[in-house]
Structure 1
Amino acid sequence: MPTLILIRHAQASFGAADYDELSALGHEQSRALGQALKALGIVPDAVCLGAQKRHRQTWEGINQALGHIVPPRILPGFNEFDFSGLIEARYAGRARPDNLHTERRAHFKALRETVLEWQQGEISDPPESYAAFAARVRTARTEAMSEGHETVLVVSSGGAIGQTVGDVMGAPADAMIRLQLQIKNCAMARLIVTPRAEHLSTFNETPHITAANEARLLTYS
């Protein structure tokens, strides 16, 4: 059955001037995932990436093991929503928590609250409406499978993957952020795609994580 494999990017540079850049650990994670995919015999017929740097860098690390020679398609619909811009829009003219963009606990608490308000239309002038985000992610999935390939691998981000899983499962909108915050770096979700429907096969797989490397390689942001 045609399968869409969604992979969250490897660890990015939280708290740095450019978040959209893999950390040294992120590069290691992506290479480890590529080796695990090769060991599992997963050979994609096609590869699609969001347009962000961390998506491309994650794929480059994976592909060191896979050796896929066809250039990936770039589908910006798989980009993450602009979480920094969204948080800034929420706190415009309001007091904000200390260390909002540098302390993980404060950041992710604010992110969860912000996304819930965004979905309810309670944030003025967001960078993108929630409805537009949901629609572009859905369209990107259709585009990724439009060429009739049997196995399509996509590198994307946690929000887009959480939105996809919630959408496919028919979950309420607020499931997106709850799913997003569970997704590990370089984790995979697999969808079986038929002409009539999409079916979730697996979620948050980490074939590159073992008992020997878990303490080092398992991250969430």
Structure 2
Amino acid sequence: MIEIYFVRHGQASFGQPAYDRLSAVGERQAELLGRHFYKNGTRFDAVYSGALRRHVQTATIAMNQMNGNGSRNLIIDADFNEFDSSDQMMNRLFTVIQEDPALSDQMKQIQTDHGAIGRIFDIAEKTDMMPVDDAARNRLAQQFRERIAGAIDNLVRKEGDSRKVAVFTSGGPTAVALRQTLETTREQTIRLGWELRNTSITVLRYDRERLWLVLFNCVAHLESQNDPNLITYI
């Protein structure tokens, strides 16, 4: 049996020229996460991270709070990166938002209404920022699912039994892992991904050759601060 803690990255710089870096809020979220693990006595036998900057930053800050080692023992695995076209879209949004009033209106709501993320994606599809051809979209989605499934399989084989492992990643890979666990539809998987909050903890247990859900989208480390501004979705 192995427990895998999927941790979504802290708030990134959404709508800015460089999306793939933590905001000041994201850094604070990661710090609180690490303190939460330390105070609760949570220790990991191994810590993995996607290769994106926001993944590594979140992992490094959290680990510094836990053991002061930062990224020293961090295992970087690009297979835990977000869906490729999703990141490309995020990086291009800064320019498009300036030109599209509809996107600007949604941006004003994004901190308090996580449904705004879905509406931004819908609008972005109409601006040729994402592939709209169903066949192309399905092919990319299948490749993404296979990549995440392979990354999980490789982790399980490498780590073996009776291990507790953290994976710092994004909402997409976590949602895909949940799809493998819960056998959700594509639409349900997308909605689960939009529900995932920054630095949320989702725990899956690999036992008897399958994944089981133990904990979903937990942000107790943020809720304990009584500051609603810390609960974010981007």
When the two structures are superposed, what TM-score results if normalisation uses the length of structure 1? 0.83
Which residue of structure 2 lines up, in the alignment, with residue 31 of structure 1?
Answer: 31
Q: Which moved more, 1:64-73 or 1:152-161?
A: 64-73
Q: CA deviation at 1:205?
A: 0.8
Q: CA deviation at 1:50?
A: 0.4
**Distance of aligned partners of 1:68 and 1:46 in 2 relative to their CA distance in 1, 3 Å threshold:** farther
Alpha-carbon RMSD: 2.8
One-letter amino acid of the counterpart of residue 108, structure 1: G
1:74 lines up with 2:76 in the alignment: yes
Task: Supply the distance in 2 between the matched residues of 1:68 and 1:112 (Cα, whole angstroms).
Answer: 42
CA deviation vs aligned residue, 1:15-59 (integer Å, no higher than 9, x gap): 110100000110010000000011111100001100100000001
SS at match of 2:212: strand
Unaligned runs of 5+ in 1: 89-95
Which residue of structure 2 lines up, in the alignment, with residue 129 of structure 1?
Answer: 140
SS at match of 1:42: coil
When the two structures are superposed, what TM-score results if normalisation uses the length of structure 2? 0.79
SS at match of 1:181: helix
Among 199, 203, 214, the residue aligned to 2:227: 214
**Distance of aligned partners of 1:209 and 1:107 in 2 relative to their CA distance in 1, 3 Å threshold:** closer
Task: Supply the distance in 2 between the matched residues of 1:194 and 1:157 (Cα, whole angstroms).
Answer: 24
Q: Which moved more, 1:77-86 or 1:26-35?
A: 77-86
Task: Supply the distance in 2 between the matched residues of 1:218 and 1:44 (Cα, whole angstroms).
Answer: 25
Counterparts of 1:4-83 in structure 2, within 5 Å, are 4-67=4-67, 69=69, 71-81=73-83, 82-83=85-86
Unaligned runs of 5+ in 2: 92-98
Alignment coverage as a number of residue pairs: 209
Q: Which moved more, 1:191-200 or 1:48-57?
A: 191-200
CA deviation vs aligned residue, 1:170-211 (integer Å, no higher than 9, x gap): 111211210011001000100111242110111001131235
Q: CA deviation at 1:7?
A: 0.1
**Distance of aligned partners of 1:153 and 1:131 in 2 relative to their CA distance in 1, 3 Å threshold:** same
Q: CA deviation at 1:108?
A: 3.0
Contact kept in structure 2, 1:4 and 1:152, CA below 8 Å: yes
Percent of matched pairs sharing the same residue = 27
**Distance of aligned partners of 1:73 and 1:122 in 2 relative to their CA distance in 1, 3 Å threshold:** same
Counterparts of 1:87-166 in structure 2, within 5 Å, are 98=101, 100=103, 103=107, 104=110, 108-111=118-121, 122=134, 124=136, 129-147=140-158, 148=160, 150-166=163-179
SS at match of 1:35: helix
Contact kept in structure 1, 2:15 and 2:90, CA below 8 Å: no
**Distance of aligned partners of 1:99 and 1:67 in 2 relative to their CA distance in 1, 3 Å threshold:** farther
